[in-house]
Structure 1
Amino acid sequence: MKKLSVLFAAIVMFVSVGMAKAQKIATLDLVSILNAMPEKKKADTDLKAFLDVKEAEIKKKTDAMQAKYKLYTEEAPKKTEAENKSRGDEMQKLQAEAQQMSERAQKDLAEKEKVAYAPIEKKVMEAVGKVAKANSYDYVMDVNSTGLIYKGGPDATAAVKKELNLQ
């Protein structure tokens, strides 16, 4: 019985080593591919412009709020307690509006990124799939991934860039 289990373990080890050697693994630098794509550059530019507009709106709102706060602070000793309380409530409301505006901008940016990058990601994944099939790669790993332990196999970056007509 013991000999049988040792024999079985040896067979499993032999088969798994044989299977591991039969697999072709390639690596690619996904970041360099994306950075070379004109579609990605345009999407980045559009998203940056959108973000700049939203940041300007938020800054305008916070600047107005700070100016009002400064005025209210200077006038506070001359106002009644009821007026100061009303002004304090107004400032809290303005601060909440600014916070909501910032959160909305972040959500809008995330949605725009998703929409802008989806076709780019699809195009790259299709090109990677074509290159992998053409070169019989079983796995293609991104060199920028933290899961990459060893990089000794062929590099598919050039082939994917060629497939996408990039330099």
Structure 2
Amino acid sequence: MKKLSVLFAAVMMVVSVGMAKAQKIATLDVAAILNAMPEKKKADTELNTFADTKQAEIKKKADAAQAKFQQYQTEAPKKTSEENTAREAEMKKLGEEIQQMQDKAQKDFLAKQTAAYDPIEKKLNAAIEKVAKANSYEYVMDSNSTGILYKAGPDATAAVKKELNIQ
């Protein structure tokens, strides 16, 4: 019985050491790296300038619409109902134009952001993969989140899907 206990302890020790060596994990601060990249700083500056320009255009149009609205409110009692209806339609159209400008500006910003950040993300991911392979890291995790940035070990997704009977 004593030999069995010693054998069990020896097996557990070997398994423990093997498991400890089996996974080499590293963490990194992705936000700090991105904020230190000159390409990211340049992209941020360009995006801020673009957003400020679009916002100024929208504000200019909105201010003009607001001035026209106040003028129409002041003159409304002196105008006919047909003129007031036409002015209301004009104000509605102006409001729709401003909304369309905002929507277009948002779409343009997102497109410009994607175009600016995609190469930066690819460069960062390539660097992470290179460092991970050079240092034999199986996993690299973002220290600011729970996300894994690089993974070299086996993937159990298919086995879990099979167990749950999903495709």
Give the TM-score, by structure 1 length: 0.76
Q: Distance in 2 between matches of 1:43 and 1:61?
A: 27
Unaligned runs of 5+ residues in structure 2 are: 1-13, 149-167
Unaligned runs of 5+ residues in structure 1 are: 1-13, 149-167
Q: Secondary structure at the match of 2:140?
A: strand
**Which residue number corresponds to residue 77 of structure 1?**
77
Q: Secondary structure at the match of 1:27?
A: strand
| Higher CA-based Rg | 2
TM-align CA RMSD: 2.1
Structure with the larger RCO, 1 or 2 (CA within 8 Å, 6+ apart): 1
Q: Secondary structure at the match of 2:141?
A: strand
Residue 90 (str. 1) matches residue 90 (str. 2): yes
Shift of the 114–81 alpha-carbon distance from structure 1 to 2, 3 Å rule, reads same
- Please report how far the alpha carbon of residue 145 of structure 1 lies from its aligned counterpart in structure 2 after TM superposition: 1.2
Alignment of 1:1-167 (within 5 A): 18-19=18-19, 21-146=21-146
Q: Distance in 2 between matches of 1:20 and 1:102?
A: 54
Q: Distance in 2 between matches of 1:85 and 1:17?
A: 83
Aligned structure 1 segments of 4 or more residues deviating by more than 4 angstroms: 14-21
Q: Secondary structure at the match of 2:136?
A: coil
Give the TM-score, by structure 2 length: 0.76
Sequence identity (%) = 67
